[in-house]
Amino acid sequence: MASDKRVHPYIPNSVPEVKAELLNEIGVKDADELYSHMIPDRLRLKRPMDLPSPLPSESDLRRHVEGLLAKNSTCKENISFLGAGCWQHYVPAVCDEIARRAEFLSAYSGEYYSDLGRFQAFFEFQSMIGELVDMEVACLSTYDWSAAAANAVRMTSRLTGRREVLVAGSVSPSRLSTIRNFAGLPGMPVHIDIKTVGFDSLTGMVDLGDLSRKLSSNTAGVYFENPSYLGVIESQGDEISAAAHKAGAEVVVGVDPISLGVLAPPTEYGADIVCGEVQPLGVHMNCGGGLAGFIASRDEERYVAEYPTHLISIAPTRREGEHGFGYCRFDRTSYVARERAKDWVGTATAMWTIVAANYLALMGPQGMKEVGEAILQKSHYAAQILAELEGLKILFPQFFKEFVINFDATGKSVPAVNKALLKKGIFGGKDLTGEYPGLGASSLYCVTEVHSKDDIDRLAHALSEVLR
C-alpha cells in the first residue's frame, strides 16, 4: 500500500478512495463544496489554522507529551501533606482496573436497556452513600462538593420559600465563592442572600451565639461541615440543628465520607440534607480532576422533587425477580423542564461514582472503620509530635485528617517554610495566611492512612531543621 499522509488512524473515511465514494453519493466534489451550501462564504475561515506540526505517530506523541509531563513531580515522588479539599488516599488496584474499563469509560447517555450495568453501578453507589450518611435517598454525582453544597443551599430556599442561607464561616473561601455564584448577585431581582456565621477561635467550631443572632424567619437553611475545611470535628451539630429547625430552616451538612466509618452520620445530629465529596473513595487526586459531589436526604417526595441531579431508582421488570434501573422523576431535570427546572443537570462526574461504589464494596464496614481509625491515629500522632517542636502550635484540638499549625512564634512565614520543605522533598500544608488572616501564619496539614510513621517523623525532622 502506498503511504498516504492524509489518512489519519482515527479517521477511517480519510482514505481518499472511500471519501470519493461518499462524495459521489452526496453529489459534491469535496468538503468545501459541502460547506459552501451550509455556511455563508463571509463566515468561513479562508486559511488553514496556524497550529504546531502534528504528531500522528503514537510513539512521537508519547515522547512529546511525556517530555512535558516530566517537568511535574508528584505526591508519590515526594511526601505530601496537602489536603484542603483534595486528598491523597490509597486507591486499590481494583478501582483502577474498573476505572479503565472501556465499556464504562466510553459510555455516555445510553438508555436503560443498553446500559444496565452502568445504571446498576450508579444505584449501588447511591445505596452505599446512603448507608454511610444514613439517608434513604442519594443522587448520582455532581461536579464537586462545592457544587453539591451550592445545589443543597438552593434546595433549602425552594423548600422553605425563603431567600437567606447561613453558612459556617469555616467553609473554604473557594467553596463559599461557588455557593455565592450559585446564589446569585444581590443586584438581581431573584437571588439568595448568603451570610456567614463566625467560628470560635479556640475550638474552630460554629459560634452558636452568632448563629442564634443571625437565625430568623427569613432563614431558609444552615450549612456547616463535618469535618470542616480546617479539619475540625463540629460536635455541636445537635444544637445547631435544633436552633435552625426552631427557626423553620433546613439543616445541610457537608461531609468527607471517608470519616463515616468512625464519625457519627449527620442524621444523628439533625441533618435534613447531606452533601460531600466522592474523591476520597478510591479516586486519584488527578490534579483536582478526581472531584465529584453528592447529595443525600430522607425519602420524602418534597425533597426528591428538589434535586437538580439524576436520581437512579430500582424498578421491577417483566421477568419475575429481575431488577431494572432508571431515572426517577426525570421531568424535574433541566433536560425536560429547561428554565423551570431545579437548577440544572449536565455531564459531570458519573465515572467516579462507579469507582467509589467499587471502593466501598472492597472496604466494607470493617475497612471503613479501620481507615477512619488509621487516619485519626496518624493525624493525631503528627499533630502531637509537631506540637512538641518549639514555636509550633496546633490551633484546634478536635480534628479528623487535617489540622491547623500556627507558625507565629517561629517568626517564619508559611511560604518560607514550605519553600524550605520542598527542597527536602516534602510538600508542606496548605497556606491559610491569605484565606484566614485572623489565624496568623497558619497552615493546614493533611495526614491520611497512606502516611507512614517514617513519613511523619521525616516531616517533624525537616521542620525542626527549617525552623532552627
Partner 1 sequence: MTSSPKVRPYHAPKWSEPVIAELGRRGERGIAVPEVEQEIRNKVGKASGLVLAKMLRGGPPMLPELSQPQVLRHYLRLSQMTLGMDLNIDFSEGTCTMKYSPRVNEELARALADVHPLQDERTIQGILEIVYKFGHVFLREVSGMDEFSFQPGGGSEAVFVNACIMRKFHELRGELAQRNEIITTIFSHPCDAAVPATAGFKVITLYPDEDTGMPSTEALKAALSKRTAGVMITNPEDTGIFNPDIDEWTTMVHEAGGLCSYDQANANAIMGVTRAREAGFDMCFFNLHKTFGSPHGSDGPACGAVCVTKDLAEFLPVPVVTRAGRKYHLDYDRPNSIGKVRDFMGNVPVVLRAYSWAMSMGAEGMREAAGVSAINSSYLEKKVLGIRGVTKPYSTKWRVDQIRWSLEKMNRETGVSVVDVNRRVVDYGIQSYFLSHHPWVVPDPFTPEPCETYSKADIDYWVAVLEKISEEAYSDPELIKGAPHSSSVARMDETALDDPARWAMTWRAYMRKKGAQEEGRQSEARQ
Binding positions for partner 1, 284-343, rule CB under 8 A: 284-292, 299, 301, 304, 311-319, 322-324, 326-330, 334-341, 343
Phi, psi of 74 (to 5 degrees): -120, 175
Provide the terminal-to-terminal Cα distance of the chain, rounded to the nearest Å.
71
CB of 408 to partner 1, least distance (A): 22
Our CB check for partner 1 shows the closer of 132 and 271 to be 132
Q: Which of 148, 154, 157, 171 binds partner 1 (CB under 8 A)?
A: 154
* Residue 16 lies near partner 1 (rule: CB under 8 A): no
* Residue 168 lies near partner 1 (rule: CB under 8 A): no
Give the separation between CA 150 and CA 66, rounded to whole angstroms. Answer: 37
Neighbours of 270 (CB within 10 A): 18
Residue with grid cell 514555636, as numbered in its chain: 391
Only segment of 111-119, 195-203, 212-220, 241-249 that touches partner 1 (CB under 8 A): 111-119
Binding positions for partner 1, 405-434, rule CB under 8 A: 418-419, 422, 427, 430
Q: Which of 177, 201, 216, 217 binds partner 1 (CB under 8 A)?
A: 177
* Residue 442 lies near partner 1 (rule: CB under 8 A): no
Q: Which of 4, 16, 195, 268 binds partner 1 (CB under 8 A)?
A: 268
Binding positions for partner 1, 370-399, rule CB under 8 A: 370-374, 376-378, 380-381, 384-385, 398
Only segment of 193-201, 211-219, 239-247, 282-290 that touches partner 1 (CB under 8 A): 282-290
CB of 149 to partner 1, least distance (A): 11
CB of 220 to partner 1, least distance (A): 16
Binding positions for partner 1, 66-95, rule CB under 8 A: 66, 68-76, 78, 80, 82, 84-86, 88, 90-92, 94
Binding positions for partner 1, 41-60, rule CB under 8 A: 42-45, 48-56, 58
**DSSP for 228-249?**
-TT-B--TTHHHHHHHHHHTT-
Grid cell in block for residue 386: 509537631
Helices 350-387 and 116-133 pack at an angle, to 10 degrees, of: 30
Q: Which of 131, 193, 210, 239 binds partner 1 (CB under 8 A)?
A: 131
Only segment of 217-225, 233-241, 245-253, 458-466 that touches partner 1 (CB under 8 A): 233-241
Residue with grid cell 463566515, as numbered in its chain: 43
Sign of torsion, CA 129 133 135 141? Answer: negative
Only segment of 162-170, 196-204, 209-217, 278-286 that touches partner 1 (CB under 8 A): 278-286
Question: How many amino acids of this chain bind partner 1 (CB under 8 A)?
Answer: 217
Our CB check for partner 1 shows the closer of 137 and 243 to be 137
Give the separation between CA 385 and CA 258, rounded to whole angstroms. Answer: 24
Our CB check for partner 1 shows the closer of 79 and 243 to be 79
Our CB check for partner 1 shows the closer of 138 and 247 to be 138
Please write down the long-range contacts of 457-462, taking CB distance under 8 Å and 24 or more positions apart: 457/385, 458/79, 458/426, 459/79, 459/81, 459/382, 459/386, 459/421, 459/426, 460/382, 460/385, 460/386, 460/388, 460/389, 462/420, 462/421, 462/424, 462/426
Our CB check for partner 1 shows the closer of 170 and 247 to be 170
Only segment of 179-187, 216-224, 402-410, 458-466 that touches partner 1 (CB under 8 A): 179-187
- Entry field: residues in the chain: 468
Q: Which of 158, 163, 191, 424 binds partner 1 (CB under 8 A)?
A: 191
Say which amino acid occupies 196: T
Please write down the long-range contacts of 239-244, taking CB distance under 8 Å and 24 or more positions apart: 239/208, 240/206, 240/208, 240/211, 240/269, 240/270, 241/269, 241/270, 241/271, 242/270, 243/208, 243/211, 243/212, 243/215, 244/166, 244/215, 244/219, 244/270
Grid cell in block for residue 129: 452513600
CB of 213 to partner 1, least distance (A): 25
* Residue 460 lies near partner 1 (rule: CB under 8 A): no
Grid cell in block for residue 406: 500556627
Q: Which of 1, 2, 103, 202 binds partner 1 (CB under 8 A)?
A: 103
Q: Which of 102, 390, 437, 468 binds partner 1 (CB under 8 A)?
A: 102
